[in-house]
Amino acid sequence: MDTGTLVAERYRLDAMIASGGMGAVWRAFDSYLERTVAVKILHAALADRDSSHRFAREARILAGLKGPGLVDVYDYGETVEGGRPVRYIVMELIEGRTLTGLLEEHGRLAPEEAMRYVAAVAEALDAAHERGVVHRDIKPGNLLIEPDGSPRLVDFGISLDENRSRLTSPNGILGTPSYVSPEQLNGRKVCRFADFYSLGAVAYECLSGRPPFASDDPLDTVHMHLYEEPPSLPPEIPGRVGEVVARCLKKNPKERWPTGSELAAACRAAVEPVAVPAQRTGETRPTPPAATEELGGRERRRGRKSLLLAGLVPVLIAVLVAVVWRPWVGTAVGSDESLEHPAPASDFVSSSVVPGGAGIEPSPVDEATDPPGADQTLEPAADSTEVAPVEPAPEPDEPTAAPPATGAELPDVIGMEADDAEQHLTSLGYTRVAVAPTLLPEPGARTGGCNIVSQNPDGGEWVEYDRKVTISYFGLKDCP
C-alpha cells in the first residue's frame, strides 16, 4: 500500500505507523466522519484462509472488549485495491509510542513508573480475560504509551478465544521468544496465566533493562524459559516490587497471580510509601529512607540500653537488700549469740544507708497480721525444715516407628519410552510426574519416537515425592 491510497473509498492512508506479523498499521483519515483513525491492513502475503479468518476474528474480539487500556474498533471490511484483496480494521488512533521506544530512549524505568504501567495493563487484561480472551503476545512492542503516561494494549492478532475453537494447531508455538510463557513452549494448555508470565517478563525488562531470558540462540531462550530461574533484579529494586515480578514468572501457571485485578493491586501496593504513626497528632506520614535509618539506629540503641538496665536492676536490688538487712551488724563474727538472739526486726530497717542515719524511717510492724516474734528467726528451726519429695524418674518413652520417607534419589529415565518412564517414576512414589514435549534435548540424546531426552530435576538428585518431576521428549508430537 502507498501513502495517499483511499481504502474502501473512505479511508485515506497518510503514514505508516508500525508493521507487525499480521499487518501494517497506518495513520489514516476517515473522509466520511472527518476524523483521524488507525487502519490496520493484513499483509498481502497472508492471503490464506486461516490468516484471513484470524484477522477477522481479531476485529471481532477487539470490538467486543471495553475498558481502560484497550482500543476501540470502528470498522472492519474487505475490498479490492490494485487488483488484489485488501482486508482492514479501522481503530481508534492512539497518539503515543511503544514501550520498546521508551525503553530504548530512557533505559531502565523507575520502579514506580514500571509498576504503574504493569498495573494498567493487568487491568486491561482482566477485562479481556473476563470475556474469555487470552492475548498470548504481551511484549513492549504491543504496549502504546500515551502522552499522559497511560498504556494501551494492542495487537490481539494471535489471541486465543477460550469460548471458540482454535484457529491454530494446539501444538503451534505463537508469541515472542523473550516473553513467551513455558506452557506456550511445551504445548500445554494456554490460559490467562500465560499473559501474566509475559507481563512479568515485560516488568523485569523495565526494571533491569533486559528481558529475564534472552539469547542469540532461540533454543537457549526456550530452555531458560522452561528450566531456569531469572537472574536477580538490580539490588536497588525494592523487595516488594521484586516479589510481584517473581510471582508473575513462576514456571507453574497456578503459582502466578490469579487475576489481573489482584496483580494490579499488588503492583500499586509494592511502591506505596510505608507509613508510620506521627508524634502527638495520631496521623501517619511516610518516613523517608534517611529518617528510617536514623529511627532504626535509635531503636537499636534504646534496645541495648534496655538490656543493660535489665541486667543491672537485679544487682542493685541485691546490694540494697544486703545494705538494709545488714546481718553482720551488732554481733561479732563467729559469735553464737548472732544465731540465738538476733536483732529485732525493726533494727533491720536501718538508716545506715545514708551516712549519719538520716533519710529513712523504720517501718512499723503490723501486729494484727505479724505477732511479736514472728519475724525474729533468721533461719528456720531444725524441725521445720521441709524436704521436697523426690519425683520418680519418668518411664522411658516407648520406641516409635521411623517416620515415612519423604523422598528418594531420582532415577535417570533419559532414553526410556515416555509411557514407561512415567509409570516407573509413579511406582517409586513420585506423585507429580509431568510428561511434556521439548525443543531442546540433552546433547547426544536419541530424538526418535517418544524417548525421554531430558528431565527436571536431574537423575541422581534427592527429590521429594510430592515435588513436580518433568520428563520431556523431543518435538511437539502427541506421545502417551
Rounded to whole angstroms, how far apart are CA atoms 41 and 386? 102
Q: Indicate if 137 belongs to the active site.
A: yes
Checking 79-84 for CB contacts under 8 A at 24+ apart, the result is 79/7, 79/8, 81/1, 81/5, 81/7, 84/44, 84/47
Cell numbers describing residue 21: 506479523
Retrieve residue 415's grid coordinates.
Answer: 532414553
What is the DSSP secondary-structure string of 368-411? TTS-TTTT--SS--GGG---PPPPPPPPPPPP-PPPPP-EEEPP
d(CA 325, CA 381): 20
**Those residues with Cβ within 8 angstroms of residue 400's Cβ, 6 or more apart along the chain or in another chain:** none
Return d(Cα 19, Cα 335) in angstroms, integer: 111
Residues 477 and 449 sit within 8 Å (Cβ to Cβ):
no
CA distance 72 to 62: 7
The answer to whether 260 and 248 are in contact (CB under 8 A) is no
Residue with cell 494446539: 170
Nearest to residue 211, comparing CAs of 248, 169, 255, 257?
Answer: 248
Nearest to 365 by CA among 345, 348, 384, 381: 345
Start-to-end CA distance of the chain, whole Å, equals: 49
34: left (phi over 0), alpha (psi -120 to 50) or beta: left
CA dihedral over 88, 92, 95, 97, signed as positive or negative: negative
Q: Which of 126, 137, 155, 195 is catalytic?
A: 137
For 371-399, b where at least 16 C-beta lie within 10 A, e where not — what string? Answer: eeeeeeeeeeeeeeeeeeeeeeeeeeeee
Catalytic sites, residue numbers: 137
